[in-house]
Structure 1
């Protein structure tokens, strides 16, 4: 019941096993949670190398130079400035509810309009100006130096947040570009804190007041 039914070559992204209509784990209840956890752990134990390869594919997308329509075009386009106005997307939601149920509950939401040439400028901008994967990797490497320096615990905390935002989805669900945005912010903070120079006033913050008042012994003549 839990295994994908489509042939291997026709299967969609891993996250489709969670979000697609009819998924056995799409219901937010204890039974579905226990069933999904048992199946996931059994699958990882039975196919550890396939699991590692799946995580590796997510890392390739994270640190790749170009962007791709992943997990599919209908999802990735929601993260971009549109060509035309769109209504609520028609993909299934959790608990087996269609998006129409969301509209019935919360209303259709605000309407908008697109005006040129400014909208065209933004669409061109989004296609070319973004943090490339290798650049993100370099930023993470800069922040990683903080883990070797005890005095830069603030940078280590920011770096850990960035790493968690990138890795937890890959290990538990699937890759998605929306996780890169907050991870990039934390990674940049970590890199800035890890590489900044310590000011003289900060260098003595760890000393006690008695140590700072202690006289410096004179050098022998």
Structure 2
């Protein structure tokens, strides 16, 4: 028995050795992050808003709180470092999922499937996002898991569709940009029949409906959490009030020259938003944004698409200029927590102490942090490479391979939608990479539809025979 196990283990190692090597490198990078930046990296003030919501277990009014629920689930450990370790494990799981799907659904050899998973394992900015107390990594893991389930078999069963759409529902209460992915998934699984569609729609509805009820219990109306201010700030980069002709109540929100970057209109003291009372902001910014988009639809599309194309530049861009995007890199030093209120009337020190019993201020530990900083100078997926990966996936779409269409469409939605409705941010680009890599791998190595179905039937027959033999 032991000899048979050794032979089987040796066969597995030979078959998957390329992926195991890349996986080991990915684990090493994440180990350096855990050792070099303790206990985590923070993004002011979003990280602390999520943490505050987790401590009080209430939905935030300005954003969905799925990530806060994640932090709450991990709170018994009373250690922020546990959160980052779990997020790193989720990052590794994303890569393992890509590799597993490609080995199951394509003719790709092990080294080629490992190559498709490598960008997730070796991209420094992916590792940094995993080490950041923010919702994006959890969102990415949920979306990739859902897509992997839907392409696991040539035709998804009702059970797989239900599980996948349940995950997309969880992704949507983590970041609302997941909502259009639910629509995309339901449209694309319609070819499998009405049972998978109904199962998927019901599963997503359970998650979204349950969250909406929770939101109503806290804020008095059904919703997922979100703010019109973000869309309004996007329109401020192109809005022309001489074309829009807004009523006097909305005219106070008209932009002046010179224009600011879209996010600056939310926080900057020069923003016209500062002239609007807090209780009127949601209503007025929503009305202004709708008027701007309806009055200038081409400007709206042109501005968002122009910014989205920054994802394909060789150097990462800090909006609106070139250079390092300091919020999403491993920094040389980190400012200590200040006495400034971070969220819900509490400082960052108070919030992190309530969560883990001590301050969660980041400590930069050398030499581990320095090794990561040196690696991140070149160890990431550059824009033109991402463009090539997406073009390879597009080739599979043109060839009408359903398995390629879903991950590729999801990648495109996540790439172009945020710049259209909020602003360009490299934090929003990182989750595009695993989906694009999965689509490209499926496009290159996909079997014919008949061969794929035949292989799936063969696996089912073998599983049945194995079950019968065990019985």
TM-score between both structures, scaled by the size of structure 2 = 0.36
Asked if 2 retains the 8 angstrom alpha-carbon contact of 1:64 and 1:133, the reply is yes
Structure 1 stretch displaced more, 52-61 or 183-192: 52-61
Gaps of 5+ in 2: 1-251, 354-358, 458-471
Tell me, yes or no, if structure 1 residue 146 matches structure 2 residue 390. Answer: no
Report deviation, 1:71. Answer: 5.0
Residues 1:149 and 1:111: Cα distance change in structure 2 (over 3 Å)? same
| Cα deviations by residue, 1:28-51 (Å, 9 ceiling, x for unpaired) | 97x644432321232234344543
- In structure 2, distance between residues paired with 1:87 and 1:35: 37
| Cα deviations by residue, 1:147-181 (Å, 9 ceiling, x for unpaired) | 2344x323211111111111111111110000111
- In structure 2, distance between residues paired with 1:204 and 1:25: 65
- Matched with 1:195 is 444
* Residue correspondence of structure 1 range 47-196 to structure 2 within 5 A: 47-70=296-319, 76-88=325-337, 98-99=341-342, 101-103=345-347, 106-107=351-352, 109-150=359-400, 152-196=401-445
Bigger Rg over Cα: 1
* Residue correspondence of structure 1 range 23-62 to structure 2 within 5 A: 23=273, 32-62=281-311
Report deviation, 1:204. Answer: 2.7
| Cα deviations by residue, 1:101-160 (Å, 9 ceiling, x for unpaired) | 35266236413422333322211222222111111111111112232344x323211111
Residues 1:206 and 1:119: Cα distance change in structure 2 (over 3 Å)? closer
- In structure 1, distance between residues paired with 2:267 and 2:393: 34
Describe the SS at the equivalent of 2:325. helix
- In structure 2, distance between residues paired with 1:25 and 1:183: 37
Residues 1:37 and 1:111: Cα distance change in structure 2 (over 3 Å)? closer
Gaps of 5+ in 1: 92-97, 208-221
Describe the SS at the equivalent of 1:204. helix
Asked if 2 retains the 8 angstrom alpha-carbon contact of 1:14 and 1:174, the reply is yes
Asked if 2 retains the 8 angstrom alpha-carbon contact of 1:64 and 1:134, the reply is yes
Report deviation, 1:55. Answer: 1.9
- In structure 2, distance between residues paired with 1:26 and 1:166: 32
Structure 1 stretch displaced more, 63-72 or 194-203: 194-203
Asked if 1 retains the 8 angstrom alpha-carbon contact of 2:311 and 2:383, the reply is yes
Residues 1:69 and 1:148: Cα distance change in structure 2 (over 3 Å)? closer
Residues 1:197 and 1:163: Cα distance change in structure 2 (over 3 Å)? closer
- In structure 1, distance between residues paired with 2:319 and 2:328: 11
Equivalenced residues, count: 195
- In structure 2, distance between residues paired with 1:172 and 1:107: 32
Q: Between Structure 1 and Structure 2, which shows a larger proportion of helix residues?
A: 2
- In structure 2, distance between residues paired with 1:41 and 1:166: 22
TM-score between both structures, scaled by the size of structure 1 = 0.71
